[in-house]
């Protein structure tokens, strides 16, 4: 949510930003907010005038009572009562205008950074750089589901019976590798100065609407029936939500945390070849990183954060690339975002394994997170980035470490988490 003062003073900038995000249907919201804001300020001014008049009349009542002029005092008391009734109606109108303004402001996209490429959707994202050689071996790389099947590591049939489509059992060495990746990612982030946390896996609606747009919420979140609770789609939601309505001390910044959680997503409309495996599922696990920092430091943190994900995947022998997300591919609250994509030697293309975003002060405004500064209170900036999300990260490790004889080499940094195992040997 942007600052209403900024919108009031720069309506053309806000409108152009909406056009850059290819959401022209929202242009009308800007004019509606400006008109509602004008009416609201008039109403608030009227309220101030009424309260000032009431105060003056109340003082006059006191003087008249001291002089024994009770009849005159009673007349003025009646005027005061009338003003009180007007104030009640005026305050109701203020509340109505404020709610109408907020409902529209929540739908207006955040102002994107000038460096964001303009494009309609993810097909217009821009590759920035690559890390590692995207090689294709001389032998065939099977589909990841087939690789895992050879280790007796995947059971989607049973999961279909217990939970339905989009769920799975991981078993044996593959399950162990999956957890080794998460454990290493945890320790990797701790070694880089982030504080480890395990957050709540369910959050209230006011937190959900504070961290994401309504469109995202409807497409992603699972609602708990008869409860004001949602299953989290990523731990960023509850990690940022931890600071809702809190005043953060300036000397506490930056807050740098890394969190583990299962994640639950509807994935509406998911279909295709990869869905027979683990690429798109309703439940997965993730190590996340979040930062709350001074506004002037957010871009520096943005650069540091996505590079941490790149270095992590390179330590697993996975080539990756970084793409700048275009304007139309960014959620409304984001100022700038990039994807980290892993190389698939089987498909001979890259696929998304993580996303890094800076959201400016949008989440802080929605959640009421403020910093107590020397010259007054202000909103901090928030950022989030995927360290690793499994099983997509697992797919990347399996494919890029698959050998011609059907074994999978365990990346050296993961071996201590696998009891020293150097290779996974198929049982089929």
For each of the domains in the chain, give its residue range(s) and CATH number, in order of start: 4-105 (1.10.287.40), 122-424 (3.30.930.10)
Q: How far apart are the first and last CA of the chain?
A: 54
Give exposure, 169-191, as e/b (b: 16+ Cβ within 10 Å): ebeebbbbbbebbbbbbbebbee
pLDDT of residue 385: 98
Q: Say whether pLDDT at 282 is over 70.
A: yes
What's 127-175 look like in SS3?
Answer: EEEEECCCCCCCCCCCCHHHHHHCCCCEEHHHHHHHCCCCCCEECHHHH
Instruction: State the pLDDT at residue 273.
Output: 36
**Cα 235 to the chain's mean position, in Å?**
9
* Mean per-residue pLDDT of the chain: 93
- Is residue 270 scored above 60 in pLDDT? no
pLDDT digits (tens, 9 = 90+) for 379-419: 999 999 999 998 999 999 999 999 999 999 999 999 999 99
Average pLDDT (305-330) is 98
Asked which of 51-60, 134-143, 289-298 is least confident by mean pLDDT, the reply is 51-60
Q: What is the pLDDT of residues 202-251, one digit of tens each?
A: 999 999 989 987 777 777 889 999 999 999 999 999 999 999 999 999 99
Confidence at residue 387, expressed as pLDDT on a 0 to 100 scale: 97
The whole-number pLDDT of residue 131 equals 98
Q: Is the pLDDT of residue 369 over 60?
A: yes
Q: Give the pLDDT mean for 288-302.
A: 98
pLDDT of residue 268: 57
Q: Please determine, for residue 271, whether its predicted confidence score (pLDDT) is greater than 50.
A: no
Question: Given this model, what pLDDT does residue 79 score?
Answer: 87
| Contact between 283 and 167 (Cβ < 8 Å) | yes
Q: What DSSP character marks residue 420?
A: T
Give residue 78's pLDDT: 87
pLDDT digits (tens, 9 = 90+) for 320-368: 999 999 999 999 999 999 999 999 999 999 999 999 999 999 999 999 9
Residue 379 CA to residue 360 CA, distance in Å, equals: 9
How many of the other CB atoms lie within 10 Å of CB of 217?
17
Q: What percent of the chain stands above pLDDT 90?
A: 82
Distance CA 282, CA 220 (A): 10
Q: Which residues contact 145 (CB under 8 A, 6 or more apart)?
A: 154, 276, 277, 278
Q: How many CB atoms lie within 10 A of CB 114?
A: 6
Q: What is the pLDDT of residues 253-267, one digit of tens each?
A: 999 999 999 999 887
């Amino acid at each position: 949510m942007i600052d209403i003062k900024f919108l009031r003073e720069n309506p053309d900038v806000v409108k152009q930003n909406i056009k850059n995000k290819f959401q022209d249907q929202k242009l009308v919201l800007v004019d509606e907010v400006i008109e509602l804001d004008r009416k609201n300020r008039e109403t608030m001014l009227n309220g101030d005038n009424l309260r000032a008049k009431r105060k003056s009349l109340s003082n006059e009542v006191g003087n008249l009572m001291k002089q024994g002029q009770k009849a005159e005092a009673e007349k003025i008391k009646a005027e005061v009562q009338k003003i009180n009734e007007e104030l009640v109606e005026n305050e109701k109108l203020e509340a109505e205008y404020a709610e109408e303004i907020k409902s529209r402001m929540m739908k207006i996209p955040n102002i994107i950074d000038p460096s964001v490429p303009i494009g309609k959707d993810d097909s217009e994202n821009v590759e920035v750089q690559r890390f590692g050689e995207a090689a294709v071996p001389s032998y065939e790389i099977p589909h990841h589901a087939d690789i895992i099947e050879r280790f007796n590591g995947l059971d989607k049939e049973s999961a279909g019976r217990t939970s339905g489509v989009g769920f799975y059992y991981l078993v044996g060495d593959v399950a162990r590798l999956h957890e080794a990746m998460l454990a290493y990612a945890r320790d990797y982030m701790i070694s880089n100065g982030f504080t480890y946390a395990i957050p709540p896996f369910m959050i209230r609606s006011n937190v959900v609407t504070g961290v994401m747009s309504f469109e995202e919420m409807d497409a992603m979140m699972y609602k708990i029936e008869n409860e004001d609770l949602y299953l989290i789609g990523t731990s960023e939601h509850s990690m940022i939500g931890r600071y809702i309505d809190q005043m953060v001390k300036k000397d506490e910044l930056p807050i740098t945390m890394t969190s583990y959680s299962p994640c639950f997503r509807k994935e509406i409309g998911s279909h295709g070849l990869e869905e027979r495996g683990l690429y798109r599922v309703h439940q997965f696990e993730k190590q996340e990183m979040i930062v709350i920092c001074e506004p002037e430091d957010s871009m520096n943190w943005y650069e540091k954060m996505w590079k941490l994900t790149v270095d992590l995947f390179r330590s697993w022998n996975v080539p990756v690339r970084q793409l700048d997300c275009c304007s139309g591919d960014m959620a409304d609250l984001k100022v700038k975002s990039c994807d980290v994509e892993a190389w698939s030697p089987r498909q001979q293309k890259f696929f998304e394994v993580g996303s890094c975003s800076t959201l400016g002060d949008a989440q802080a405004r929605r959640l009421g997170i403020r910093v107590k500064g020397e010259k007054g209170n202000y909103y901090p900036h928030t950022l989030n980035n995927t360290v690793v999300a499994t099983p997509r990260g697992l797919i990347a490790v399996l494919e890029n470490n698959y050998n011609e004889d059907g074994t999978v080499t365990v990346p050296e940094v993961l071996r201590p988490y696998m009891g020293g195992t150097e290779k996974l040997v198929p049982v089929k």
